[in-house]
């Protein structure tokens, strides 16, 4: 059993801002700020607004114009980034420990004092629209977006986080300000810091910048949950050489105890470099160059998809091969012996340890757990379960959740969709 401990402190300010500090032997200061707002909480008129606001946070504040803000962020000498998903919007800075106060000052200025300048907004609309168009040029991303679009009728998962060209073009400054004021509030925000400093020192720095932040989040948190359609959808594009296949499974009611064996199954099925699907489709049959799986167990999602690209004439054979592998797992014809199970356990343990060795990854993990209302020590519970996990757990989860897929095939011939 691997024993992982870290020196943590959790503080909630009077305004509702939650701060988690981790003291670690490191020369770096890693700060993550997460706002509990994302594509789940948008409607048909404002799809992409969370993502657009994330972009605008880098476009100037009351104290720094666009150029000054980004020059000072760059001058920290580290890394700064942001992303938006369905659940949240996250901003991060990783820099040398001596830049800690400057990093907090810059981050707080971005979050508390954005100007949403009209000219900057119009320019950024062009940037985001270019990003949306680029996702269509990336055939794998395009195909993935399409399978989610076809799989659901009402779930926000059918829409891209960046929104559509139409919604982005129509954003107004007033609309942006209203959405920002309802969601960028201290009670809707969590900050995690991993650094070598004492907890009180870090909290005091953050208090100095964030304790006067006011506001209460007021947004409907209802999210439509929906099972995927068990259907096949096909379209064509003349600008691609190979056909793309995406097979999507969703499992809203999965028991929490089955999530760990599902992670192990996913790794063995299509995540590892020597996965079952890779060996069958590439090494044995020579059908594909690459095949992989992607598993999402975040709140309101719970899905797994398989992706590959093949010659148009090999689509049926490839689908048959994939489903044959899955059925052979369910029927226990593919044997997970003790050595296989032990290897999968080692892989999972290595991934966990790697996360906690890296301060930036650790801060990101802690933030994700907090944003989803999960125990930050969940990994310890998973490690205990891992010791008891056996092959039957993996077979059971395969039979229980890998059923009734949505299949999307983008054929590499014909006219554009």
- Cα separation, 117 vs 335, whole angstroms: 60
pLDDT of residue 384: 79
User: Which of 176, 210, 244 is the endpoint of a domain?
Assistant: 210
pLDDT of residue 326: 98
Tell me the sheet residues that pair with 82.
91
- Cα separation, 65 vs 342, whole angstroms: 55
pLDDT of residue 189: 98
pLDDT band at 410 (very low <50, low <70, confident <90, very high): very high
User: Which of 150, 179, 210 is the endpoint of a domain?
Assistant: 210
Residues 92 and 198 placed together within one structural domain of the fold? yes
- Cα separation, 275 vs 263, whole angstroms: 13
User: Could you read off the pLDDT of 172-230 as tens digits, one per residue?
Assistant: 999 999 999 999 999 999 999 999 999 999 999 999 999 999 999 988 888 888 999 99
DSSP H helices in 21-117: 49-56, 66-75, 100-112
Residues 149 and 250 placed together within one structural domain of the fold? no
- Cα separation, 157 vs 54, whole angstroms: 19
pLDDT of residue 3: 64
- Cα separation, 210 vs 12, whole angstroms: 11
pLDDT of residue 1: 54
pLDDT band at 414 (very low <50, low <70, confident <90, very high): very low
For residue 20, give every residue at least 6 positions away whose Cβ sits within 8 Å of its Cβ, in sequence order, or none: 8, 9, 10, 190, 191, 192, 193, 366, 367, 370, 376
pLDDT surpassing 60 at residue 11 = yes
User: Could you read off the pLDDT of 75-84 as tens digits, one per residue?
Assistant: 999 999 999 9
292 occurs within a structural domain: yes
216 occurs within a structural domain: no
pLDDT surpassing 50 at residue 416 = no
Helix (H) or strand (E) holding 243: strand 243-250
pLDDT surpassing 80 at residue 335 = yes
100-112 and 199-210 helices cross at what angle (nearest 10)? 30
Q: Total domain count for the chain?
A: 2
pLDDT surpassing 70 at residue 2 = no
Helices H, strands E: what count in the chain? 15, 11
Residues 26 and 149 placed together within one structural domain of the fold? yes
223 occurs within a structural domain: no
Residues 204 and 238 placed together within one structural domain of the fold? no
Dihedral angle computed from the Cα positions of residues 191, 221, 58 and 134, in that order, rounded to the nearest 10 degrees: 120
pLDDT of residue 417: 46
pLDDT of residue 151: 97
Helix (H) or strand (E) holding 207: helix 199-210
User: Could you read off the pLDDT of 49-64 as tens digits, one per residue?
Assistant: 999 999 999 999 999 9
Residues 74 and 124 placed together within one structural domain of the fold? yes
Residues 202 and 281 placed together within one structural domain of the fold? no
Q: From edge to edge, which strands make up the β-sheet containing 303-310?
A: 232-236, 406-411, 243-250, 303-310, 291-296
217 occurs within a structural domain: no
In this predicted structure, which of 1-10, 318-327, 371-380 has the lowest mean pLDDT? 1-10
Residues 44 and 146 placed together within one structural domain of the fold? yes
Residues 290 and 362 placed together within one structural domain of the fold? yes
Residues 78 and 117 placed together within one structural domain of the fold? yes
- Cα separation, 202 vs 194, whole angstroms: 9
284: DSSP letter: I
pLDDT of residue 130: 97
CATH number of the domain encompassing residue 184: 3.30.830.10
Residues 296 and 339 placed together within one structural domain of the fold? yes
pLDDT band at 375 (very low <50, low <70, confident <90, very high): confident
pLDDT surpassing 50 at residue 135 = yes
219 occurs within a structural domain: no
State mean pLDDT over 78-91.
96
- Cα separation, 4 vs 380, whole angstroms: 8
Residues 271 and 188 placed together within one structural domain of the fold? no
113 occurs within a structural domain: yes
pLDDT of residue 361: 92
| Mean per-residue pLDDT over the chain, rounded | 93
Question: Which of the two residues, 5 and 304, has the higher pLDDT score?
Answer: 304
Residues 84 and 129 placed together within one structural domain of the fold? yes
> Are the beta carbons of 245 and 405 closer than 8 angstroms?
no
417 occurs within a structural domain: no
The encoded tokens of residue 206 equal 């953050």
Task: With H, G, I as helix, E, B as strand and everything else as coil, classify residue 292.
Answer: strand
Question: Which of the two residues, 358 and 98, has the higher pLDDT score?
Answer: 98
User: Which of 178, 210, 242 is the endpoint of a domain?
Assistant: 210
- Cα separation, 257 vs 263, whole angstroms: 11
User: Could you read off the pLDDT of 271-310 as tens digits, one per residue?
Assistant: 988 899 999 999 999 999 999 999 999 888 899 999 999 9
273 occurs within a structural domain: yes
Boundaries of domain holding 341: 232-411
């Amino acid at each position: 059993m691997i024993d992982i401990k870290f020196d943590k402190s959790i503080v909630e300010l009077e305004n509702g801002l939650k701060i988690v500090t981790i003291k670690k032997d490191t020369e770096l200061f890693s700060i993550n700020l997460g706002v509990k707002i994302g594509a789940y909480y948008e409607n048909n008129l404002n799809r992409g607004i969370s993502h657009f606001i994330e972009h605008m946070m880098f476009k100037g504040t009351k104290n720094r114009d666009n150029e000054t803000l980004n020059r000072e962020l760059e001058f920290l000498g580290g890394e700064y980034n942001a992303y938006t998903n369905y659940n949240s919007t996250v901003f991060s800075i990783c820099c040398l420990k001596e830049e800690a106060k400057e990093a907090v000052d810059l981050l707080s200025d971005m979050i508390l004092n954005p100007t949403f300048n009209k000219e900057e907004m119009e320019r950024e609309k062009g940037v985001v629209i270019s990003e949306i168009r680029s996702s269509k040029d990336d055939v794998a991303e395009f195909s993935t977006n399409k399978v989610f679009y076809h799989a659901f009728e009402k779930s926000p998962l059918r829409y891209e986080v960046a929104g559509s060209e139409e919604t982005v073009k129509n954003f107004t400054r007033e609309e942006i300000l209203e959405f920002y004021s309802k969601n960028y509030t201290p009670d809707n925000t969590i900050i995690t810091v991993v650094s070598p400093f004492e907890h009180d020192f870090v909290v005091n720095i953050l208090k100095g910048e964030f304790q006067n932040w006011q506001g209460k989040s007021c947004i409907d948190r209802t999210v439509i949950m929906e099972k995927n359609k068990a259907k096949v959808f096909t379209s064509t594009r003349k600008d691609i050489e190979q056909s793309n296949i995406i097979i999507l499974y969703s499992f809203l009611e999965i028991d929490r105890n089955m999530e760990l064996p599902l992670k192990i199954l996913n790794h063995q099925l299509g995540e590892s470099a020597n996965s079952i699907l890779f060996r069958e489709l590439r090494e044995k049959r020579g059908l594909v160059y690459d095949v992989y799986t992607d598993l999402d167990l975040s709140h309101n999602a719970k899905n797994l998809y398989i992706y590959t690209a093949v010659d148009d004439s090999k689509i049926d054979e490839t689908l048959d091969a994939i489903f044959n592998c899955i059925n052979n797992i369910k029927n226990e014809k593919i044997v997970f012996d003790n050595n296989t199970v032990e290897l999968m356990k080692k892989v999972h343990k290595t991934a966990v340890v790697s996360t906690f060795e890296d301060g930036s990854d650790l801060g990101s993990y802690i933030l994700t757990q907090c944003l989803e209302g999960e125990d930050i020590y969940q990994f310890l519970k998973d490690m205990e379960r891992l010791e008891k996990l056996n092959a039957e757990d993996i077979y059971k989860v395969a039979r229980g959740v890998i059923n009734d897929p949505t299949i999307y095939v983008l054929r590499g011939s014909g006219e554009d969709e």
